[in-house]
Structure 1
Amino acid sequence: MSNAQFLKISGGAALKGKVRTQGSKNAALPVMAAALLLGDGEKLTCTNVPLLRDTETLVALLCALGMDVRFEDGTATVARRGDLVCEMPASLVQKMRASSILLGPLLAQTGRAVMPLPGGCAIGARPIDLHLKGLAKMGASIELSHGAVYASARKLRGCRIYLDFPSVGATENLVMAAVLADGETTIENAAREPEITNLVQALQAMGAEVCYKKDNAGVIQVNGRAELVSGRVQIIPDRIASCTYLLAGVITNGEVTVTDVQPQHFDSLLAKLEEADVSYERQENSVTVYPSRGRLKKLSVKTMPYPGFPTDVQPQLMAALCLAKGTSVIKESIFESRFQHVAELRKMGAAIEIQGNTAVINGVPALYGASVQGTDLRAGAALVLAGLAAEGETRVYGLHHILRGYENFDRALQGLGAEVSIAEDDEGSF
């Protein structure tokens, strides 16, 4: 796809209808990576896997490392066939920061792993210090040289690891590494996101001895074993995509039902919608938002690790709050550079001030179409939502970022009545 492609949006229509939530990108990637832990000849079957740029990149990475991957109709089968390659190709790693989740399982399986420092969304440093610190405590030798991580260990050893921050990526890496380590590993202050639980389920399906301690969901215990066997797991619904479609309904004052979801995974958003005076109905596997009588009420939001308000929904909520009545405040506590969409929203008439890691949003009566640039996945989604509500035509560039995380995004929005289409700039640039 050319980076000159954009999403063309004719805004102003209230969205209405149903949209099915895709499988979770943030769950599918580590679960598929866990297949590196399989014994020779074994396979992991994953259902409800979304077809995205990021899943395509991971499939290419796994194949480059020596795995056999088949992907058809939302089912990915990842099989171990012989010896693995221990060095990840820089050309693929640089496409996706989540490439770092391969480090732990690859090191545990082969005793050596070389990973060029990963790329992806420009939303902050996202250091992998916690990943490396935990692996070193398990006995790995870690060296940073020429823009790559060189890790080696004859055999990882189980130990107690306390994470200074409940990092999702570090938790995933260390849990997977611990599965093949000698002895017992306890990870304290572990991330509690539903995607971590899905990974634990996948590892259990492959015969790993891993579980949350019953008295503390932030503590994971792993008893290492020699190898894993074939298993099957279903990828959970994508809570971030669910939130995005619900907010598309909210910002256009429409009636949108998101189906095949697990509403408990985004309770934090539903609580904020209620606070903003949005009418919604929650069923066991679906949520519907309804048109409001007036403008949204102002909100105060702080992003936090799960079960707090997710940083991955902050840009989309900000777009909706641009049209709220009064002054809203969003404090970003996870990533230091996650306000890059603010300048683009201002082009559309939003009144937003940045004070350090806090955004102050003064609600305006209307937004107006403009040509804007999505600098990362969720920023791009936020600009699409703003375009859906704006008067006139909006062009959202950086479409390749959006397609990293949303499956058939344009068609899903079209199904809700949005006037959107993918187009390409004749001049070849934004």
Structure 2
Amino acid sequence: MAADRHTYRITGGVPLRGTVEASGAKNAVTKELVATLLTDEPCTLHGVPRILEVDLVLGMLAELGTEVTWLGEHTVRVHTPKVANTSLSSAYSGVNRIPILMMGPLLHRRGETVVPLPGGCTIGKRPIDFHLEGLHQMGADIVDRPGSVKVTATRLTGAHVHLPFPSVGATENLLLAAALAKGTTVISNAAVEPEVVDLVLMLQKMGALITIDTDRTLTISGVEELRGVEHHTVADRIEIASFAAAAVATDGRIEVRGARQDHLITFLNALRHIGGEFTETENGLEFFRGRPLTATDIETGVHPGFMTDWQQPITVLLTQADGTSVVHETIYEDRFGYAEQLSRSMGADIELTTRCLGATACRWHNRDFQHTAKINGPTQLKAADLVIPDLRAGFGYVLAALVADGTSTISGTRYLERGYEEPVAKLAAVGARITTQPA
């Protein structure tokens, strides 16, 4: 991970008011860029956010032989007429999880690949067992190497793969592998997040045959070839929820253009339980506080449940709510690391426990992971010097600074900028008192 370009200085206590434009979803567009490797024809993607994560993926593609041309601020054309390299350099080892998604496309194009083992934010182990087992069932030969994995296949063939957990990454990996495989692939217990569906829509435009059943089953009939595509990526529902939480927490009013209610149903219900409200506008959704904030209980889950990436801004919002709230994290075992700084440095009253305090025991039950938070509020947060530990905690810290008394300094901003496009400019546009200084 590159060093910070700058740190943020945020003075809190100002209601945020105004309009922001939702960026394209990081969790969709990065996978869709990988999908372009499945064809030797040009592909044009619209709504591409200018974020560090996109820069990383485009760098990986260029290393493999992809021609990258920006046609506009948020439109990029990528074309891989020939895969020049089947392996990524060690520079991408541990950077993010995108390289493992390249296995299927590179096997189809060249029959082999060596990809570095994944990295990304420190929020849990996120193993790739499901990915490798699925590819093995499809006929891939897999050899572990120090820091990487070598995968070869003469031709991938269809298989029935049951995922023990509806992993987004594993589902996407198998989709990319199955699109050109011989025969039919069935993925049961698959992830069906909007970003996964957006990838399916893009692949379908390219000529893939994919059906999504109501029981989390994806059926892919392999085709001989895929063609180029023009596709507009879906809006980022994590960024949208972040600005919604900011509007409610600061008692302001923010319109997010491009926001879609159908992608936010569970979030909007939780927001309303707390005291937030929304209204539909001509261009998106507007968020505001509808009544005094009150405590609630939230449990993260796979879609259509409450998204794990919504958990951090909601937890900060709940520090301003009256009563005791419970947030039970069931997706990642180590996602509350950011809470220590909120409590120790900013005065939040957050207690972490290894117990499951949700409706049911989750897969981290009786294991030594602090995956449940009890938040007592309301608490007047005080300004502090904060260090962002991971991407989604980053906006949580920004939101905490926006409601805190005084001026906070936030470093580790490179993590936040992996997934949020122009966060300083967007926050300033709705009235945040935020400036940057060289790191």
Aligned length: 420
Distance 1:229 1:223 in 2: 16
The corresponding residue for 1:395 is: 409
The corresponding residue for 2:105 is: 105
- Over 3 Å counting, the alpha-carbon distance change for 1:58 and 1:4 in structure 2 is closer
Range moving further from structure 2, 90-99 or 197-206: 90-99
The corresponding residue for 2:316 is: 319
Q: What TM-score do the two structures reach when normalised by structure 2?
A: 0.93
The amino acid that maps onto 1:247 is A
| Offset at residue 187 of structure 1 (A) | 0.9
Distance 2:349 2:197 in 1: 39
Show CA shifts across 1:25-67 (max 9, x none): 111011110011103xx11111111010000000000010111
Distance 2:388 2:398 in 1: 9
The amino acid that maps onto 1:334 is I
Q: RMSD of the TM alignment (CA)?
A: 1.4
Distance 1:83 1:65 in 2: 6
Distance 1:307 1:285 in 2: 24
Range moving further from structure 2, 278-287 or 192-201: 278-287
Distance 1:186 1:343 in 2: 43
- Over 3 Å counting, the alpha-carbon distance change for 1:283 and 1:308 in structure 2 is farther
User: 2:347–2:379: 8 Å Cα contact kept in structure 1?
Assistant: no
Distance 2:98 2:30 in 1: 8
| Offset at residue 151 of structure 1 (A) | 0.8
Say if 2:285 is the partner of 1:287: yes
Matches within 5 A, 1:195-214: 195-213=195-213
Show CA shifts across 1:85-123 (max 9, x none): 111122124322233222222223221111111221111
Distance 1:282 1:124 in 2: 36
> Which of 261, 266, 276 is matched with 1:268 structurally?
266
Q: What TM-score do the two structures reach when normalised by structure 1?
A: 0.95
The amino acid that maps onto 1:313 is W
Distance 1:300 1:35 in 2: 41
User: 1:97–1:121: 8 Å Cα contact kept in structure 2?
Assistant: no
Show CA shifts across 1:273-307 (max 9, x none): 1111223213475221223443x110101110011
Distance 2:93 2:232 in 1: 25
| Offset at residue 217 of structure 1 (A) | 5.5
Q: Which runs of 5+ in 1 are unaligned?
A: 426-430
| Offset at residue 179 of structure 1 (A) | 1.0
| Offset at residue 240 of structure 1 (A) | 0.4
Distance 1:409 1:122 in 2: 21
User: 2:275–2:289: 8 Å Cα contact kept in structure 1?
Assistant: no
The corresponding residue for 1:378 is: 392
The amino acid that maps onto 1:343 is E
Range moving further from structure 2, 55-64 or 143-152: 143-152
User: 2:24–2:236: 8 Å Cα contact kept in structure 1?
Assistant: yes
The corresponding residue for 2:328 is: 331
User: 1:178–1:185: 8 Å Cα contact kept in structure 2?
Assistant: yes
Distance 1:47 1:280 in 2: 27
Identity %: 37
Distance 2:12 2:317 in 1: 14
| Secondary structure, aligned partner of 2:240 | helix
Show CA shifts across 1:114-139 (max 9, x none): 11112211111111111101000001
Q: Which runs of 5+ in 2 are unaligned?
A: 355-370
Distance 1:18 1:217 in 2: 38
User: 1:8–1:421: 8 Å Cα contact kept in structure 2?
Assistant: yes
| Secondary structure, aligned partner of 1:268 | helix
